[in-house]
Amino acid sequence: MDYPQIILHKGKDFSLQRKHPWVFSGAIAKKDAGLQDGELVEVFNFKKEYLATGYYAGGSIAVRIISFTQCLIDEEFWYEKIHKAWLYRSHLGILSEHTNVCRMFFGEGDGVPGLILDYYNGHVVFQSHSGGVYLQRENIALAIKRVLGPLLKSIYDKSAETLSKHYSEKTVNGFLVGNEEEIIVKENHHLFKVDFIRGQKTGFFIDQRDNRKLLAEYCKNKIVLNSFCYTGGFSVYAAYAGATIVESVDASQSAIDLCEQNIDLNQLNNHTSFVDDTFEFLKDKQNAYDVIVLDPPAFAKSRDNKHHAVIGYKRLNTMAMKLIKPNGIIFTFSCSGVIDKMLFYNTITSAALEAGRNIKILHYLYQPADHPVTPNFPEGEYLKGMVLWVE
């Protein structure tokens, strides 16, 4: 194909042979002059044998791979990728009469680094995390139209905050198709209003669907605290499942406003919410709760602050373990990719030691199937959680 070429050093093609989708800058022996951030490229080994097609990114990860077969990156290419991801979710029955929201495309897990598509009952939020994907948005939008057909109601491009500076300065979020702003989705028959324009990320934390369902099993006649509640995903499930009272806490007023609306939408009333810092809120809550959900934002966004993140998770979990009623249940999560499951486990078990409480581990939790993790890209696993019985 007629794309600029990148030649790797001898012995630096092993990771591509294993289908890992990143090429580090140190692996590159030769590249065409004047390559721009986001430009499509073909990668070859030192013998000039084709390895993969991707887009140039210019940083320490210099190329992100989108195909391991030599092909044209056109509308048909995007259709095949997005259609395959859609079929996978259809086979698994993720969407049903009870659930009309899912992650439709999950970056490397679906074969394209940097491409996120979230499906909200026919409204698609498109988020590109790299210039390479952003430059392809017209063909991606055409492909989404073809895949969804009459199901499609709108496509909203929300890439301004996830692109590098070079692109984000020129980018304005906006609709590529349609223009409906007020949407309500259904997840396991619970209703949620989603503000994908002003909300965090693409508007809703779709990745907690299965874990919310599990929480419901533990809530009947219990006093439940949902901390870092955002728009009340866990709160709605807990209140619906028959909790005596559910309290929701978040530092963001707009998140709490939506949380309240979601409680009303589901005609629930056993609920109170608080705009507060969770660490402050918990200070005087000794013996107040039977069940506590701890789902903080990623405390570590890179390896550099991994250590501080561990201290943060340990402090939070120690506080919750100290104050929960005897024989209480804690749902605790980390969505930091750099905190792996072993490190999370060690952090939680050392929090129990510090709190002086005996725990039993009831479940290990992960991200759901619409956020797929593949063996060639284990880095894709970011959400991990544990359900604890606290004696």
Cβ of residue 255: shortest distance to ligand SAH, in angstroms? 4
- x/- map, 140-179, ligand SAH, by CB under 6 A: ----------------------------------------
- Selection from 162, 158, 190 nearest residue 174 by Cα: 158
**What DSSP string describes 258-295?**
HHHHHHHHTT--SEEEEES-HHHHGGG-TT--SEEEE-
If the CB atoms of residues 65 and 300 are measured against ligand SAH, the closer one turns out to be 300
Question: How far, in Å, CA of 80 to CA of 77, rounded?
Answer: 5
Cβ of residue 327: shortest distance to ligand SAH, in angstroms? 24
Query: Does residue 385 interact with ligand SAH by CB under 6 A?
Result: no
Query: Does residue 234 interact with ligand SAH by CB under 6 A?
Result: yes
- x/- map, 267-296, ligand SAH, by CB under 6 A: ----------xx----------------xx
Cβ of residue 324: shortest distance to ligand SAH, in angstroms? 18
If the CB atoms of residues 130 and 208 are measured against ligand SAH, the closer one turns out to be 208
CA 30 vs CA 15, 35, 159, 258, 274: distances in Å? 18, 12, 31, 52, 57
Query: Does residue 316 interact with ligand SAH by CB under 6 A?
Result: no
Query: Does residue 255 interact with ligand SAH by CB under 6 A?
Result: yes
If the CB atoms of residues 113 and 296 are measured against ligand SAH, the closer one turns out to be 296
Query: Does residue 297 interact with ligand SAH by CB under 6 A?
Result: yes
Cβ of residue 70: shortest distance to ligand SAH, in angstroms? 41
Structure tokens at 278: 């969770």
If the CB atoms of residues 242 and 297 are measured against ligand SAH, the closer one turns out to be 297
Query: Does residue 53 interact with ligand SAH by CB under 6 A?
Result: no
Q: Which residues have a Cβ under 8 Å from the Cβ of 311 and sit 6 or more positions away?
A: none
Cα–Cα–Cα angle for 255, 204, 274, rounded to 5 degrees: 20
If the CB atoms of residues 70 and 272 are measured against ligand SAH, the closer one turns out to be 272
Query: Does residue 100 interact with ligand SAH by CB under 6 A?
Result: no
Question: How far, in Å, CA of 272 to CA of 287, rounded?
Answer: 18
- Selection from 142, 139, 143, 171 nearest residue 157 by Cα: 171
If the CB atoms of residues 35 and 258 are measured against ligand SAH, the closer one turns out to be 258
Cβ–Cβ under 8 Å, residues 310 and 296: no
Neighbouring C-alpha atoms within 13 Å toward the C-beta of 85: 29
If the CB atoms of residues 252 and 349 are measured against ligand SAH, the closer one turns out to be 252
**Helix 209-216 × helix 233-240 angle, to 10°:** 30
- x/- map, 191-230, ligand SAH, by CB under 6 A: ---------x----x--x-------------------xxx
- Selection from 117, 135, 134 nearest residue 126 by Cα: 117
Cβ–Cβ under 8 Å, residues 218 and 329: yes
Q: Which positions touch ligand SAH (CB under 6 A)?
A: 200, 205, 208, 228-231, 233-234, 249-252, 255, 277-278, 295-297
